[in-house]
Structure 1
Amino acid sequence: MAHLEPLAGGYYLWKYLPSITAAAIFAVLFGGITCVHCFKLWRTRAWFNVPFVVGGAFEFIGYIFRIVCYNNTASITSYSVQSVLILLAPVLYAASVYMTLGRIIRSIHAEELSVVPVSWLTRLFVISDIVAFWVQGGGAGLMVMQNMATVSKVIVIVGLVIQMAMFSFFIVTSVVFYRRAQQIPPTAGGVPWRQHMNTLFAVSGFILIRSIYRVVEYTMGMDGYFLTHEWPLYVFDAVLMWLVMVIWAIKYPGQIEPGKTEMELLSTEDAVSG
């Protein structure tokens, strides 16, 4: 029968025995919705949605490794993989969300209504996203070391705070633009921009709630309630992030500036025209 196993020195990576059933369910859910995103990406060639596919793959692999951990709770590799990938997946979703706003604004020629200059809009938020990604990843990777537990916790919290602060600013930026653009027809430029903005608001809200949960989780520490009980992970992370992927797939922003051959972050031409 599966049971918790300590590392050398009596240090436990897990504070509970992970549920193999819950992990299997979400591995299937994330695997399925990631396949849907792959199909939509292939059909629309909307490459700014690539991070959603990568994020979905992160979630799928992360929950597969939680299944593996059920019978091997002393495996540092398995614990690290599931912890890091599930932690970082939402950062990738955020990258696509950031790139979508800039495309919406340009598609309806409303650059003058943006709080942040459109030529800098995506770069500002995606660069902060990259910083948050590496900081969180570095901190999560150190959590398997007992003597680095406190340091790793602080590093992860810093990364989460960076992500949450910039995401909050992004939401404010989006709301201000939406309010300023009310006089623009709902389908200006042939793009249902209001529909896409509502989708953006919905997924942004879920990602922000999840980020708040993670900050509280790590602030409470390794012996805190959230890290010693499994259900919060599924309620405040797994379910919300799966809904983010489902909503994005249903209201897929594939027709915004169709025909792009590269992601906006790497496009010098976009910066000049913006």
Structure 2
Amino acid sequence: MAGHLLPNIADCYSRSYELRKACREACTLDTCPFDLSYWGYLPSLSANAAFLALFTLSLLLFLFQAALSRRFLGFTFAMVSGCILEVIGYIGRIMSHNNPFQEAGFLMQIVCLTIAPAFLAAGIYLCLSRIVLTFGAENSRIKPLSYPRIFIPCDILSLVLQAAGGGYASARTHNDQDPTAGNNIMIAGLAFQVATLFVFILLSCDFAVRTHGRIRSLGRAQALDPAHAKLRDSWAFKGFLVSLALSTLCIFTRSVYRVAELSEGWNGHLINTQRYFIGLEGACVIAAVLVLNAFHPGLCFKEGDTAERGCFGFGRRRNRGEKGGGSGAESPVVAS
């Protein structure tokens, strides 16, 4: 089917992937309705350009803040990786504004924007162990380093399931086969991400409640680690706690939305309605990264911080004169 000829619209509704693709390649905004596109709507140029600009700004800020503080290297790696994927995804959406019938832009955004928040969630997981140590490891049900050791592998598993499911579904579609199995694997990966975030939120709340309870029963001097009293009282650290909580809730909200979206299928109401994407995907994720730009942990963890350099921003610290290990000997490392 030549690109300059009007497409046979009937071919666009064919069950054959090759016929649908050939029809779409011949389609233009003047000759075909939006429901024949990969989107079901025309991606907004203004909204996607705004998100692209904001994620690019956030990416540059994370790099600048990492160079400035030279700390929290694992956090930086996770957030920079997530922002790069977000930038690529929104480039794909802008590409599709001029021609929503082309597959390249659609695939760029569906792959990159689906897996990017998994990297952002990993950055959030890395911060909780440092917070636990700042208040006192005895206030937590589990050791500080257990948080990243539990949640990072779960995040990786979620990422693998999403990538494998998406790749399998794409391969089945290109072979004119049913992609349902691949879609279900992808949904399972997103659902596992939601479950992981939910458990993380529960443990974070549990730590907050236990800490508050110990303060009420023992007093601040006994319940909290005195070595980090100055850090806990700083406005930057308090702002970081609020920003981390807000960022976690934003990523959780976005992940719930994506599970609901893909559960309806590729022709569902949610995936074909742009305002839901803008509000529950784009706005939630950009809010999550911008608040962590405003209160970057490498710049907020200054007062009273004595941690040493470690791999990916975490490692083991021993108190002076301490030979053996203990629950208080482990701490996430802030590279300095």
TM class, shorter-length: 0.7 to 0.9
The answer as to whether partners of 1:139 and 1:153 remain within 8 angstroms in 2 is yes
Of residues 209, 219, 226, the one that matches 1:179 is 209
Contact 2:243–2:295 under 8 Å retained in 1: yes
The whole-number CA distance in structure 2 between the counterparts of 1:199 and 1:156 is 29
The correspondence for 2:65, drawn from 30, 33, 40, is: 40
Where do 1:120-139 residues align within 5 Å? 120-139=146-165
* Displacement after TM superposition at 1:264 (Å): 4.5
Shift of 1:79: 2.1
Q: TM-score normalised to the size of structure 2?
A: 0.72
Greater Cα offset, 48-57 or 97-106? 48-57
* Partner in structure 2 of residue 239 of structure 1: 283
Q: Secondary structure at the match of 2:19?
A: coil
Moved more, 252-261 or 15-24: 252-261
Runs of 4+ more than 4 Å apart: 4-7, 184-188
1:23 Cα offset (Å) = 1.6
Q: Of Structure 1 and Structure 2, which has the larger fraction of its residues in helix?
A: 1
Provide the C-alpha distance between the structure 2 equivalents of 1:71 and 1:198, rounded to a whole number of angstroms: 40
Other-structure match for 1:26: 51
Distance 2:138 2:51 in 1: 43
Q: 1:167: how far off?
A: 0.7
| Counterpart selection for 2:311 from 262, 265, 269 | 262
Cα contact 1:80–1:140 (8 A) shared by 2: no
Q: Which has the higher contact order (CA 8 A, sep 6+)?
A: 1
Match of 1:191 in 2: 231
| TM superposition shift of 1:186 | 10
Residue 15, structure 1, aligned to residue 40, structure 2: yes
How far has the Cα of 1:187 moved from its partner? 8.9
Summarize deviations over 1:230-257 as a string: whole Å, max 9, x none. 2211100100111111111112111435
1:180-228 per-residue CA deviation (whole Å, 9 max, x = no partner) reads: 2232469961323554333222111111111111111011112211111
Partner of 2:52, secondary structure, is helix
* TM-score w.r.t. length of structure 1: 0.87
- Cα distance between partner residues in 2 of 1:116 and 1:25: 41
Identity between Structure 1 and Structure 2 (%): 25
Q: CA deviation at 1:27?
A: 0.7
Alignment map for 1:104-253 (pairs within 5 Å)? 104-108=131-135, 110-144=136-170, 145-146=172-173, 147-182=177-212, 183=215, 184=220, 189=228, 190-192=230-232, 194-253=238-297
Distance 2:102 2:182 in 1: 18
- Whose radius of gyration is greater, 1 or 2? 2
Q: Is the 8 A contact 1:47 1:260 kept in 2?
A: no
Residues 75 and 313, structure 2, Cα contact 8 Å, conserved in 1:
no
- Partners of 2:190 and 2:255 within 8 A in 1: yes
The number of residue pairs the alignment matches comes to 269
- Secondary structure of 1:25's counterpart equals helix
Q: What are structure 2's unaligned runs of at least 5 residues? A: 1-6, 22-36, 319-324, 331-336
Supply the RMSD in Å over aligned alpha carbons: 2.7
Q: Is the 8 A contact 1:41 1:49 kept in 2?
A: no
User: Which of 87, 90, 95 is the matching residue for 1:60?
Assistant: 87
Deviation for aligned residue 1:155: 1.1
> 2:322 corresponds to which residue?
none
